[in-house]
Amino acid sequence: GIEYIDSYVFNKVEQIRFNSTVGRFVGYTELGLINAEAWNSDAGILGQEQAQLERFCKTNDANLYSAILDKT
């Protein structure tokens, strides 16, 4: 299966992450936790992230998979 991860990093510290398998944002710092709660309650933001799996990953999976195999 395909998993889409969108991480937000500040000063080399991951603050928050969207994971398509989990289907929501997870915060890793105090600010990340606050943002995760807000973004998870916003259907527009959450929907945009969830749509990325279809829009980007599944549209390009054959090309991405081929590029990976060419490197091994």
pLDDT of 72 higher than 70: no
Instruction: State residue 30's pLDDT score.
Output: 97
Q: Are 27 and 18 in contact (CB under 8 A)?
A: no
What pLDDT was estimated at residue 27?
Answer: 97
Task: CATH number of the domain at 11, please.
Answer: 3.10.320.10
Distance CA 46, CA 17 (A): 12
Contacts of 45 (CB under 8 A, 6+ apart): 39
Q: Which domain holds residue 49?
A: 5-70
pLDDT of res. 36: 97
List pLDDT tens digits, range 16-62: 999 999 999 999 999 999 999 999 999 999 999 988 887 776 676 76
Task: Tell me how many domains the chain contains.
Answer: 1
Answering whether pTM is above 0.85, one says: no
